[in-house]
């Protein structure tokens, strides 16, 4: 599914603009960085409550399609800067993580796990 | 980053600064780019990126600083991570999933799941870890590949 369709359905406002025609192949939800690192499949949309810059490094390394920072958590300035540098689409939303994941599931996004 | 002239196709070294959470992850990101430029298989690149990231974070979080040197040869990626620091008293225990001595502060950032070393081991074709208490830790990872495949 296209990232653009998700952005519209969830009324997400971009902290960092997504690249066009970005494809989302699944989703992953976790706040433990090593868990995401080891298990999230490429092109996943990652839902988390973590908002510090290292989130962007992880997202880039696992080829995440986008990061949604849920729960109304304020992004650190360094996070936005890093997202721009690494061209990772990042969205912050007031919706709690449960709600975000539920809506993504409704849209047809499924959890994906990929072993190392 | 410095490039060395060895028998390897390419060699790079990254200095890792303890406690620098903003730059943390840069070594893994830079290595990933190098491997992409060499045209390696995405699965191999992913494994090297995961191993390097986890080793890098362990140096940032658990040591006083160190470096990661990577030799890329025609059939392998050799990742050597050396730090000075407290070392690991019980390596068997440290390798268990879920074991972590991370502080409350770093746990709040999402580190300290105790999955870093298990991720490294799973990413590696060969893996060895040596540690001296009060001196530091040396981690070696080998990932086999076939260049340009
Ligand atoms: N370079 C190191 N120097 C000293 N101790 C280390 C080093 N690397 C790992 N350790 C020890 O081994 C433990 C397990 O490491 P591991 O990477 O598996 O988990 P973690 O770093 O605690 O959490 P996570 O990697 O999931 O964020 C650490 O908590 C720490 O006690
Ligand atoms: Mg670790």
CA of B48 to the centre of ligand 2 (A): 15
A106: burial class by Cβ within 10 Å (0-12, 13-18, 19+)? Answer: exposed
Residues of A in contact with B24 (CB under 8 A): 54, 57
Q: What per-residue confidence (pLDDT) applies to B96?
A: 97
Q: What per-residue confidence (pLDDT) applies to B146?
A: 79
A100: burial class by Cβ within 10 Å (0-12, 13-18, 19+)? Answer: buried
Name the one residue in this structure whose structure tokens are 């410095």. Answer: B2
Measured between CB atoms, does A115 come within 8 Å of chain B? Answer: yes
Structural domains in chain A plus CATH codes: 3-106 (3.40.1390.20)
Please give the CATH number for the structural domain made up of B10-144. 3.30.565.10
CA A7 to CA A112: how far, in whole Å?
Answer: 20
pLDDT in tens, A50-83: 999 999 999 999 999 999 999 999 888 899 999 9
Q: What per-residue confidence (pLDDT) applies to A60?
A: 96
Mutate which of B27, B90, B105, B117 to test ligand 1's pocket (most atoms within 8 Å of Cβ)?
A: B117
CA A32 to CA A54: how far, in whole Å?
Answer: 12
Whole-number average pLDDT of chain A: 92
Q: What is the DSSP string of B45-99?
A: HHHHHHHHHHHHHHHHHHSS-EEEEEEE-SSEEEEEEEEESS--S-HHHHTSTT-
Res. A41 pLDDT band, cuts 50 70 90: very high
What is the number of helices (H) and of strands (E) in chain A?
A: 5, 5
Rounded to 10 degrees, what is the CA torsion of B26, B149, A40, A18?
70
Mutate which of B50, B58, B107, B131 to test ligand 1's pocket (most atoms within 8 Å of Cβ)?
A: B58
Res. A15 pLDDT band, cuts 50 70 90: low
- Ligand 1 atom index nearest CA of B119: 18
User: Is the minimum distance from the CB of B62 to ligand 1 under 6 angstroms?
Assistant: yes
Closest CA to A33 of B100, B81, B132: B100
Q: One digit per residue, pLDDT tens: chain B, 149 residues?
A: 445 445 678 999 999 999 999 899 999 999 999 999 999 999 999 999 999 999 999 999 999 999 999 999 999 999 999 999 999 999 999 999 999 999 999 999 999 999 999 999 999 999 999 999 999 999 999 999 975 44
């Amino acid at each position: 599914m296209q990232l653009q369709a998700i952005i519209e359905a969830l009324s997400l406002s971009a902290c960092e603009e997504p690249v066009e025609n970005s494809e989302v192949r699944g989703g992953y939800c976790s706040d433990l960085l090593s868990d995401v690192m080891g298990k999230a499949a490429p092109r996943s949309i990652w839902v988390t409550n973590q908002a510090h810059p290292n989130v962007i490094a992880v997202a880039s390394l696992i080829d995440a399609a986008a990061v949604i920072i849920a729960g109304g958590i304020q992004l650190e300035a360094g996070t936005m800067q890093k997202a721009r540098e690494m061209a990772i689409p990042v969205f912050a939303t007031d919706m709690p993580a449960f709600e975000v994941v539920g809506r993504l599931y409704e849209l047809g996004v499924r959890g994906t796990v990929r072993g190392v | 980053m410095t490039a060395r002239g060895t028998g390897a196709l390419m060699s790079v070294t990254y200095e890792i600064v303890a406690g620098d959470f903003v730059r943390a992850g840069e070594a893994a990101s830079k290595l990933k780019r190098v491997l992409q430029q060499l045209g390696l298989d995405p699965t191999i690149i992913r494994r090297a990126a995961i191993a390097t990231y986890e080793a890098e974070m362990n140096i940032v979080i658990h040591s006083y600083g160190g470096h990661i040197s990577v030799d890329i040869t025609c059939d392998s990626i050799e990742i050597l991570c050396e730090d000075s620091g407290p070392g690991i008293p019980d390596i068997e225990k440290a390798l268990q999933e879920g074991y972590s001595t991370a502080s409350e502060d770093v746990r709040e950032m999402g580190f300290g799941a105790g999955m870093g070393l298990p991720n490294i081991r799973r990413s590696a074709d060969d893996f060895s870890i040596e540690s001296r208490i009060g001196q530091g830790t040396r981690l070696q990872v080998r990932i086999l590949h076939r260049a340009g495949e």
